[in-house]
Amino acid sequence: MIPSVSESRAARTLREIYESGRPLAYVRSSEELRIGRLLAALGLPVWTWSLTDGLHQAGESPVPGTTDARAALDFLIAHPHPAIFHLKDFHEPLRDSSAVRRRLRDVESACFDRQKFVVITSPVRAVPEELERSMVFVELRPPDEVELASFLHDEQPDAPAALLPQFARALKGLTLDEARYALRRALAAKPELSAASLPYLLEEKRLLVNRSGVIEFLSTPTNVNEIGGLEGLKKWLFERQRLFELRDEVSAEIVPKGVLLMGIPGCGKSLSVKAIASCFQLPLYRMDMNAIFSGRHGKPEVVFAEACRMMEEMAPAVLWFDEIENAVSTQTVGGESGRMFGFFLTWMQEKTRGLFVAATANRIDVLPAELLRKGRFDEVFFVDLPVDDERLDIFRIHLERRGVPVAGLDLAQLTQFTGGWSGAEVEQCVVSAITKAKLADRAVNIQDLITTAVGIVSLSRTMKEQISNIRAWAFERAVRASPPASRASKPMM
Ligand SMILES: Nc1ncnc2c1ncn2[C@@H]1O[C@H](COP(=O)(O)OP(=O)(O)O)[C@@H](O)[C@H]1O
Ligand SMILES: [Mg+2]
């Protein structure tokens, strides 16, 4: 068969095995329907075997006696025409019968060069030792966008073609069976596929990742405008967004792969990660390192590696490692977490394009130097306490978000009472002042804000020394997320 331009990854794998002339393949997968589809596309008649139905061609009755595995092999050996034989769950007869194992070795010579192709599918890898060398073992990864788009087209021929790539992307990371459930869910809600169906398709994916127990799908759309200050970070973000969109056209080394945000708690790191996902128009997933280390889901290093790989199947996406210092701190390196860290560094460099990693850290002094070395992340940003202008910006954002128009408020007065505050403290001040005014049954005014501000003791005052240390450390190793211009008005503490 001539490979088509839009051949899926899985179709190519199977075609290449077939064309290499090897008559026996063992595919580990529980997706029998999907493999049936892929085999049918090879262009030969497909016979299917199962323990309950025996051997039959689509739409025809089974060959008598072939529920017996040995008889089925005899039949296909004698079969005089080119054909594909799909043997479902054949690992069971292989395990149970030495005669079947022996007969399968005969299949190899009987089918060689006769355009007969035998494909065993099974959810488990159980290849008997004596057959190891006779067959190709393949593990099918979840369907790629090409396969998903063609599946969607087959299931819903009337779906708008222009939307198929977007739908396919929404389903990426799901098996074809799961994609089918997602499609049913979407069709139940909206009988015709349209842009409005997307959230329903994504819902199935959310359930899937949540089942893993270690990755969480976050749907908290956050506009970049909701971040006060941090103009340097925002500018960088808009530039990267363009490059990220071009990721399949530009060379691998300039495709954005990740960013590390570190700094003082409560200054907008988590908020920025959510904004990155919205800005890139990608779904956001958070890796829960505590759940991984808990051991509830298996050996941490194995679970971690699996979760990273699973996320590659979800790409394009943003993957967030929150408080990454807990996972890779120099204090825990050695043993298990040392291996995890090693894996993480390699993975960061090799992972698929289209998976953007956002890591955040508070305790930056414990991060290993290797993590900060150029090439791991595209940029390491230091998110400092907001300077005067930035705090005013944050006041405005939080007031407006709560329906308070700022036009009549002279916010500039607040700068002198809020030196050294974090964004989270600004938000807290806004909430308290509004609450107080509400209780008095009137609109909030600048005096409420000032009175509240005077009563707040900021964290930076109680943790002065720690914060100086973080700063001293970060100034040498990271780029400020606020633009250099604002350095003139250094935040006071
Ligand atoms: N720069 C900022 N702009 C707007 N709001 C902010 C900013 N920094 C902090 N906040 C407010 O404080 C909350 C906590 O900030 P967060 O992003 O979780 O801090 P971090 O992750 O750096 O510890 C945010 O949800 C937001 O409401
Ligand atoms: Mg945070």
Residues 271 and 337 in one domain: yes
Separation of CA 270 and ligand 2 centre (Å): 4
For the cut 60, the answer to whether the pLDDT of residue 487 exceeds it is no
Ligand 1: centre distance to CA 414 (Å): 18
**In this structure, which residue's CA is closest to atom 19 in ligand 1?**
266
User: What residues contact 488, with CB distance under 8 A and at least 6 apart?
Assistant: none
Q: Is the pLDDT of residue 138 over 80?
A: yes
Last residue of a domain, one of 119, 139, 159: 139
Q: What pLDDT score was predicted for residue 238?
A: 93
Q: Do residues 372 and 398 share a domain?
A: no
Asked if residue 4 belongs to a domain, the reply is no
Taking the centre of ligand 2 as the mean of its atom positions, its distance from the CA of residue 272, in whole angstroms, is 9
Residue that is last in its domain, among 163, 186, 211: 211
For residue 26, give the CATH number of its domain: 3.40.50.300
Task: Locate the ligand 1 atom nearest the alpha carbon of residue 227 and give its number.
Answer: 3
| Lowest-confidence pick of 193-197, 295-299, 348-352, 482-486 | 482-486
Residue list, ligand 1 pocket, CB within 6 Å: 227-230, 265-271, 360, 386, 394, 397, 423-424, 427
Residue 39 and residue 97 in one domain: yes
Task: Give yes or no for a contact between 155 and 183, defined as CB atoms under 8 angstroms apart.
Answer: yes
Residue 361 lies in a domain: yes
Compute the distance from residue 213 Cα to the ligand 1 centre, in Å: 26
CA of 388 to the centre of ligand 2 (A): 22
pLDDT digits (tens, 9 = 90+) for 335-374: 666 778 888 888 988 888 889 999 999 887 788 888 888 7
Same domain? 187 vs 308: no
Q: Among all chains, which residue has been given the structure tokens 């060398």?
A: 133
Q: Tell which one of 259, 324, 391, 427 to mutate to probe ligand 1, the residue whose CB is within 8 A of the most ligand atoms.
A: 427
pLDDT digits (tens, 9 = 90+) for 53-111: 999 998 899 999 999 999 999 999 999 999 999 999 999 999 999 999 999 999 988 98
Round the average pLDDT of the chain to a whole number and report it: 89
Residue 207 lies in a domain: yes
Q: Which ligand lies nearest to the CA atom of residue 424 in the structure?
A: 1
Ligand lying closest to the C-alpha of residue 264: 1
Mutate which of 233, 267, 430 for ligand 1? The one with the most ligand atoms within 8 Å of its CB, which is: 267
The pTM assigned to this predicted structure is 0.76
Distance 235 CA to ligand 1 centre (A): 18
Same domain, 376 and 230: yes
87 C-alpha to center of ligand 1: Å? 56
Residue 492 in this model has a pLDDT that exceeds 60: no
Contact indicator for 326, 290 with CB cutoff of 8 Å: yes
Taking CA atoms only, the protein residue closest to ligand 1 atom 17 is: 268
Considering every ligand atom shown, identify the ligand nearest to the alpha carbon of residue 263 and give its number: 1
For residue 392, the domain's CATH number is 1.10.8.60
Atom of ligand 1 nearest to the CA of 272: 17
What pLDDT digit, counting tens, does each position of 301-344 carry?
A: 889 998 998 898 888 899 999 988 877 765 554 566 677 888 88
76 close to 45: Cβ distance less than 8 angstroms: no
Ligand 1: atom nearest CA of 383 is: 22
Residue 1 lies in a domain: no
Instruction: State whether 151 and 125 are in the same domain.
Output: no
For residue 484, being part of any structural domain is answered with no
pLDDT at residue 334, rounded to an integer? 55
CA distance 164 to 167: 5
Dist. CA 198 → ligand 1 center (Å): 29
Is residue 295 a part of any domain in this protein? yes
| Minimum CA distance residue for ligand 1 atom 11 | 424
- Check whether residue 361 and residue 235 sit in a common domain: yes
Among 211, 240, 255, the domain-final residue is: 211
Let me know whether 350 and 413 are in one domain: no
275 found inside a domain = yes
Nearest residue to 137 (alpha-carbon basis) of 31, 29, 25: 25
Phi, psi of 198 (to 5 degrees): -55, -50
> Would 294 be classed as within a structural domain?
yes
Q: Best substitution site from 220, 261, 271 to test ligand 1's pocket, by max atoms within 8 Å of Cβ?
A: 271
**Mean pLDDT to the nearest integer, 153-159:** 91
Inform me whether the pLDDT recorded for 381 exceeds 80. Answer: yes
Residues 127 and 150 in one domain: no
Burial class (CB in 10 A: 0-12, 13-18, 19+), 9: middle
> Is there a single domain that holds both residue 237 and residue 207?
no
DSSP assignments along 325-367, one per residue: HHHH-TTT-SHHHHHHHHHHHHHHHHSPTTEEEEEEES-GGGS
Atom of ligand 1 nearest to the CA of 229: 1
Which ligand sits nearest to residue 392's alpha carbon? 1
HSE-CB at 297 with a 13 A cutoff on CA atoms is 20
Q: How far is the CA of 193 from the centre of ligand 2 (A)?
A: 37
User: Closest Cα to atom 16, ligand 1: which residue?
Assistant: 268
pLDDT of residue 331: 53
**Which range marks the domain in which residue 359 is found?**
224-383
Lowest-pLDDT choice from 173-177, 247-251, 479-483, 487-491:
487-491
Residue bearing the bigger pLDDT, 152 or 206? 152
One domain for residues 153 and 132: no
pLDDT at 388: 95
Rounded to an integer, the average pLDDT of 182-203 is 89
pLDDT of 2 > 70? The answer is no
pLDDT at 396 over 90: yes
Residues 316 and 176 in one domain: no
Q: DSSP letter for 374, please.
A: B
Tens of pLDDT, residues 7-47: 899 999 999 999 988 899 999 988 999 999 999 999 999 99
Residue 58 CB-density burial (10 A; 0-12 exposed, 13-18 middle, 19+ buried)? exposed
Q: Give the whole-number percent of the chain exceeding pLDDT 70.
A: 95
Q: Are 224 and 345 in contact (CB under 8 A)?
A: no
426-467 pLDDT per residue, tens: 999 999 999 999 999 999 999 999 999 999 999 888 888 888
Q: How many domains does the chain have?
A: 4
